[in-house]
Copies of this chain bind each other. A is one copy, B any other.
Amino acid sequence: MTSKKVPTRKPRADAEQNRTLLLETAKAAFTEKGANVPLEEIARAAGVGIGTLYRHFPNREALLQEVYRDESEKLAAAAERLIANEEPLEALREWLRLFVRYFATKQLVIGALNAIVGPGAKLQASAAHIETAITTLAKNADKNGDIKLDVAPLDLLRAVIGIAAHSKPGWEKSAYKMVDIILAGMARE
């Protein structure tokens, strides 16, 4: 009972084109104007009807997830690389900085992060990647005796995001410092 009938024919070319086009347009729009751009504006900019946008992405979160799927995958990959090549604690620290940087250079902030780290997040695609990454890194550092992990790994991100969400201009600096503070605070003496 997986897929009813499968007399399906090949997905239409125009559909796939539009999908891609929408993703590109959306990415630009999110970067430029933040995660709350009216979806209708994105559709217009892409030259398609609003209905088409919604057919491809049932809601804003879905669109955000897809748009930042790349980034999430890169972050996930970075996590693996760091774990392989660095001391656990430094791996964790470096990854957190990477996280900050990724979302500093995009105007990603709040909206998108809600999709990833928020309460409702259906742990899909990007969300899952991010959560796996931070969890692995944190547990790794914990097992290695570097830190005492007595908060949920995601809470580390949440704290950092708190900074991102509220300070406007150069919040990365503050976020970096917060990373160091938090790691220092979790260190086993």
Contacts and interface: CB of A to CB of B under 8 A. Distances in A.
**Secondary structure call for the A interface:** helix
Contacts of A182: 159, 178, 181-182, 185
Contacts of A165: 158, 162, 165
B151 A161 contact: no
Interface size class of A (residues with CB under 8 A): 20 to 34
A177 interface: yes
Contacts of A181: 151, 182, 185-186
Interface stretch (A9-17, A66-74, A95-103, A111-119): A111-119
Interface in A161-186: 161-163, 165-168, 174, 177-178, 180-186
A23 B134 CA distance: 43
Contact of A186 (B114, B163, B185): B185
Nearest to A176: B151
